[in-house]
Amino acid sequence: MQDLKIPAHIAFIMDGNGRWAKRRLMPRKYGHKMGVEALKRVIAACEKLGIKEVSFYALSTENWSRPKDEIDALLAMIKKFADEEMKEYVDKNYRIRFMGELHRLPQETQNALESIARAAENNTGIVVNIGINYGGRDEIARAAQKAAESGLPVTEEAINANLDTAGMSDPDVIVRCAGEKRLSNFMLWQCAYSEFVLIDDFWPDFNEQTVLRIISEYSGRERRFGGLK
Ligand code: FPP
């Protein structure tokens, strides 16, 4: 059997919640609800398998154009996730971080997320990084602006140090699901050398077996980071 190479960091673009629900003649919101269940399964599986960091795209800067009731449902799920699971994660020594501009969220959600991130700041377990109101271009522009304001040269290191992910490792693998093959403005800077793994399943069907498939595909890749064989 192939030796498994465990990636240190996997980034997931969660997709297909709506189509998953539609196939079951259910509203899109139900797909997102089941998407949250998949998120919990995947975090637990990654932790169990020894992955050190995981990143997820929960809400993009472009998602606000969706119907209001869908956005409200997503925001309510994020708040519930913060009040329930994230608190448990903090107790389990997980480090929780956010990417994106939280200021567009309802004030109480912002407060809840900021207090979780603070409480988990010194935790040493798996890092769970969630993109909320996140856009890769927006993140790079903000980081470049901050680097320029420091008065020092705007180098790659300076941008890195000002990204929402400052101090984190770059993803080894980026996973897109539901038959899509795009980056959709997710972690544009950080994914420069990430291995793409495409999974046809809709996000609500993800589980530990899916994570094992991802690891198995990654294990067969040869990474050269632009160098020679
Ligand atoms: C994509 O499916 C998924 C999203 C836009 C949101 C992902 C959010 C969650 C899983 C739940 C909330 C997150 C947290 C952190 C609690 P889609 O709606 O684009 O599906 P489709 O492509 O089939 O229409």
Q: 14: which DSSP letter? A: -
In eight-state DSSP terms, residue 194 is: P
225 band by pLDDT with thresholds 50, 70 and 90: confident
What 3-state class would DSSP assign to 95? strand
Mean pLDDT value of segment 140-163: 97
Residue 226 confidence (pLDDT): 80
- Nearest 10 degrees: Cα torsion 196, 201, 206, 210: -60
The predicted-structure confidence for 168-212, as pLDDT tens digits, reads as follows 999 999 999 999 999 999 999 999 999 999 999 999 999 999 999
Backbone φ and ψ of 196, nearest 5°: -85, 130
pLDDT at 228 over 80: no
Q: Whose CA is nearest to atom 6 of ligand 1?
A: 58
What per-residue confidence (pLDDT) applies to 1? 57
Q: Which residues pair with 224 in a beta bridge?
A: none
Count CB atoms within 10 A of the CB of residue 123: 17
Active-site residue identified among 17, 63, 111, 162: 63
* Distances from the Cα of 204 to the Cα of 17, 91, 156, angstroms: 6, 26, 36
Q: What is the pLDDT of residue 81?
A: 97
* Full set of structural domains in the chain with CATH: 9-218 (3.40.1180.10)
Nearest Cα to Cα of residue 163 among 190, 199, 125: 190
Three-class DSSP category at 86 = helix
Q: Which of 12, 13, 14 to mutate to test the pocket of ligand 1 (most atoms within 8 A of CB)?
A: 14
Identify the band that residue 223 occupies on the pLDDT scale cut at 50, 70 and 90. Answer: confident
Q: If pLDDT is split at 50, 70 and 90, which confidence band does 224 have?
A: confident
What number does the ligand 1 atom closest to the CA of 21 have?
23
Q: CA-to-CA distance for 218 and 83, rounded, in angstroms?
A: 34
Q: What is the pLDDT of residues 103-134, one digit of tens each?
A: 999 999 999 999 999 999 999 999 999 999 99
Cα atoms in the Cβ-side hemisphere of radius 13 Å centred on 3: 1
- Active-site residue 162, yes or no? no
Report the Cα 32 to chain-centroid distance in Å: 15
The per-residue pLDDT for 229 is 67
74 C-beta closer than 6 A to ligand 1: yes
Alpha carbon 135 to its chain's center: 12
Other CB atoms closer than 10 Å to residue 33's CB: what's the count? 18
Is the minimum distance from the CB of 116 to ligand 1 under 6 angstroms? Answer: no
**pTM for this structure?**
0.96
Annotated catalytic residue 69: no
